[in-house]
Structure 1
Amino acid sequence: MSINSKLVQLRKKVRLNQKKVIDEIIRDHSTNTCIFCGSSEQLTKEHVIPQWVYSRCTKRTFVTTTNGASQTYNKTTLPACKDCNSNILGSLERHLKHEFENIDVRKQEFSRETYELIILWLETLEYKFQVLDLRRNLNKVKGSEYIPYIGKMPISMFQGPADTSPSKVFSNLRSSLKALSVKSKSKKLNSLCVLYTKNPDFHFFHSSNNFIFIELAQYGVAFFYFFNRTFDSHESASLAAQEIVKKEYAGKGT
């Protein structure tokens, strides 16, 4: 079955089950059902960031913005049924890996279809992070008082420049899942920036409901994508992305 046929299946699954899935996640943030279709059959562990992205390094970690706590990518998983995980999303990732291996972005652009598939893939990462942030409780931050009641609240309630209401968090969650059911990403093409990189290592950062940056050292390519901003031109998106990347790297002392 072609990648397009499998993505038709994904869109149908999301459209048919999105209310059921979101209602269940809201009812029980730690629900053990597929986060894409709501099935409780043949559940597998879906890595929030795919293992191939960071070369399957079990020591590779990321830090949550709110908690300041480090955790491994390898153990950061969510429930997904075998069909959604291995068959559909696995096929999307294998297809993109093949494109990354065979295109040198210094000399050649990806096809329009590939750009749209990259956007879809990055949107699946955003959705997974939103679910993950609902499932993770706020931990004690070093040097501050710990309040048990607040500690039981999901991290997602504290993301962004100001505290976020539960209704807004759930609205963002619905929107991020709904985005996976949209076939055409043509209106968002200017929101995706593709960069050539010579950095020898994987690098990643993400701002919920805002943007994502992922650097795939093994393929010499990096992607910056604005989830909810559209631009009149690719140049204006690139300038906005470059400012954010510079601040991120400067903050890490690189």
Structure 2
Amino acid sequence: MSIQLKLVQLRKKIRANKKKITDAIIAEHSAEMCIICGSQDQLTREHVIPQWVYNRCTKRTFETTTNGIYQTYNKTTLPACKDCNSNLLGYLERHLKHEFERVDVSHQEFTHETLELIILWLETLEYKFQVLDLRRNLNKVKGAEYIPFIGKIPIAMFQGSMDTSPAKVFSNFRSALQVLSVKSKADRLNSLCIIHTINKDFHFFHSTNNFIFIELAEFGIAFFYFYKQSFDDHSAATESAMKIVEDHYAETDT
């Protein structure tokens, strides 16, 4: 079956079940149901960041943006039914991994179809982080004294600023699932930056509802994607992205 037929199945599942999923997760953040179709049958554990990104190294960690907690990828999972996990999301990842192996971005470009698939994949990561942030409690605000009652509030409530309202958080969550059902990503191409990299290790940082950077050393490639921000031309996006990347690396080195 072609990748496009798989994506038709994915979009149909999301459109048919998105209200059930969002209503259930908003009511009970830790609801044990597939985060894609809402099924409670044949649940598996979907990695927020795919295993192959880390070469299945269980010691590798990534940092959450809200309170600086490091966690290993293998323990950072969400419920997904077997079909959505392996057959649909897994198929998309396997297809893209093949493209990453096939295309040398130092002198080749991805097709527009592949670029749209990359955007869809990065949007699935954003959606999973939105769900994850709702499920996790805030352990400690970085640089601040721990306040016990705040610890019971989901991390999602602290996205962007301390005055983020629950209504806004839930709206972002609904939107993150909705965009996965949008067929064409053509109008988002300027917001995706493809970067050739010679770094030897994986790097990742993410700002909820804002942007994502993921560097895949194995393939000599990195992606920076602005989830909401649009640009008139690709050079403006690249300039903005590289400034954020350089600032992040500078903070990491200090």
CA-CA distance at 1:144 after TM superposition? 4.2
Aligned counterpart, 1:3: 3
CA-CA distance at 1:163 after TM superposition? 2.8
* Alpha-carbon distance in 2 for matches of 1:145, 1:253: 26
CA-CA distance at 1:50 after TM superposition? 0.1
Aligned pairs for 1:116-195 (under 5 A) are 116-141=116-141, 144-195=144-195
What SS does the aligned partner of 1:132 have? helix
What SS does the aligned partner of 2:23 have? helix
Aligned counterpart, 1:88: 88
Amino acid in the other structure paired with 2:54: Y
Amino acid in the other structure paired with 2:61: T
CA-CA distance at 1:141 after TM superposition? 4.6
CA-CA distance at 1:145 after TM superposition? 3.4
Amino acid in the other structure paired with 1:62: F
Aligned counterpart, 2:64: 64
Task: Kindly indicate whether residue 104 of structure 2 is the aligned counterpart of residue 104 of structure 1.
Answer: yes
* Alpha-carbon distance in 2 for matches of 1:166, 1:42: 31
- Cα distance 1:219–1:168, how it changes in 2: closer, same or farther (>3 A)? same
Amino acid in the other structure paired with 1:149: F
Aligned counterpart, 1:225: 225
Aligned counterpart, 2:202: 202
Say if 2:63 and 2:205, in contact at 8 Å, map to a contact too.
no
* Alpha-carbon distance in 2 for matches of 1:161, 1:199: 33
Say if 2:14 and 2:37, in contact at 8 Å, map to a contact too.
yes
Aligned counterpart, 1:213: 213
Deviations 1:125-177 (A, max 9, x none): 00000000000001035774332221100001112144311000000000000
* Alpha-carbon distance in 1 for matches of 2:136, 2:116: 30
Deviations 1:192-250 (A, max 9, x none): 00010000000000000000000000000000000001111010000010110011000
Amino acid in the other structure paired with 1:44: T
Amino acid in the other structure paired with 1:208: T
Aligned counterpart, 1:50: 50
What SS does the aligned partner of 1:180 have? helix
Task: Kindly indicate whether residue 23 of structure 2 is the aligned counterpart of residue 38 of structure 1.
Answer: no
- Cα distance 1:101–1:142, how it changes in 2: closer, same or farther (>3 A)? closer
- Cα distance 1:142–1:95, how it changes in 2: closer, same or farther (>3 A)? closer
Unaligned runs of 5+ in 1: none
* Alpha-carbon distance in 1 for matches of 2:143, 2:216: 35
- Cα distance 1:9–1:142, how it changes in 2: closer, same or farther (>3 A)? closer
Amino acid in the other structure paired with 1:223: F
Say if 2:66 and 2:142, in contact at 8 Å, map to a contact too.
no
* Alpha-carbon distance in 2 for matches of 1:18, 1:107: 40
* Alpha-carbon distance in 2 for matches of 1:115, 1:99: 10
CA-CA distance at 1:117 after TM superposition? 0.2
Amino acid in the other structure paired with 1:49: I
* Alpha-carbon distance in 1 for matches of 2:116, 2:156: 28
Aligned counterpart, 1:17: 17
Q: Between the two proteins, what is the percent identity of the paired residues?
A: 72
Amino acid in the other structure paired with 1:153: I
Amino acid in the other structure paired with 2:216: L
Unaligned runs of 5+ in 2: none
Aligned counterpart, 1:245: 245
CA-CA distance at 1:98 after TM superposition? 0.5
Q: CA RMSD in A?
A: 1.2
Deviations 1:36-85 (A, max 9, x none): 11000100000000010011110111222222222111110000001100
* Alpha-carbon distance in 2 for matches of 1:58, 1:206: 20
Amino acid in the other structure paired with 1:249: Y
* Alpha-carbon distance in 1 for matches of 2:85, 2:21: 15
